[in-house]
Amino acid sequence: MEQPDLFSGLPGDLGDTVRDVPAPTPLVVATDGSCLRNPGPGGWCWFVADDCWAAGAEGATTNNRMELLAVAMVLEVVPAERPVHIQADSSYVIDALTKWRHGWKRRGWRTASGEPVKNLDLIEHLDVLVSERMPTFEWVRGHTGHAGNEAADERARAAAEAVHAGLPWVPGPGLVGR
C-alpha cells in the first residue's frame, strides 16, 4: 500500500517560513562566597562587570551557603530567555548542582552516606532554578587573577566584613543593561 503524501498542497518551500534566529549569547557571571569564620559572618556576590553585580550578607552562615546563595541570586534575576554561564571557584557548588543533587533528591535529600543534605532550603530552590534555567558551569581557580572571580571575591568579602561590623553592605547596581 502506498503512503499518502502528507505534504502535498502546502504553500511553497517550508524552509522559507523558518528563520535562522541566533541563540542569545550566554551571560557570563562569576559567583563567589566569603565567610570570615566558618561558620560566621558571610557575604556573597555575583559579578558580570563593574556596573552589573549584586552582593549580600548574613551574620551567621557558612562559606558553602554563601557560594550557593550567589548562584541562586543570579539565576533569580537574569531573564528566563537569557542563557547563563556561571564561573565559580567552588567545586562544591558545581558538583552539588551538576552531579550530586539528582542522587540526593532520589534519596529524599540525603547524601550517599545517609546524612541529611546541608543547606537543604537552598539546594531545593537551586534544584528548581537549575532545572528551569539549565545554566552551564565552569570551575575557575580562586585567587589567581581571574578578573571576574577576583571582583566577586572582593565584593563578597566586603559584604561579610560590613555585616560583621554591624554596617550596611553595598548591594551593587544589580542586573543593569544586560
Active-site residue, 145 included: no
Using CB atoms within 10 A of its CB, is residue 55 exposed (0-12), middle (13-18) or buried (19+)?
Answer: buried
Query: Does residue 153 carry a catalytic annotation?
Result: yes
Q: In the annotation, is 89 catalytic?
A: yes
Annotated active-site residue in 50, 143, 145, 177:
143
Sheet holding 40-49, edge to edge: 52-61, 40-49, 27-35, 84-88, 136-139
Q: Pick the catalytic residue: 67, 148, 150, 172? A: 67
Check if 32 is active-site. yes
Active site residue 43: no
Task: In whole angstroms, give the CA distance from residue 39 to residue 177.
Answer: 36
- C-alpha cell of 28? 557570563
Catalytic residue among 43, 89, 148, 150: 89
51 carries an active-site annotation: no
Active-site residue, from 32, 42, 43, 172: 32
Cell numbers 557558612 label which residue?
A: 62
- Residues labelled catalytic: 32-33, 67, 89, 143, 153
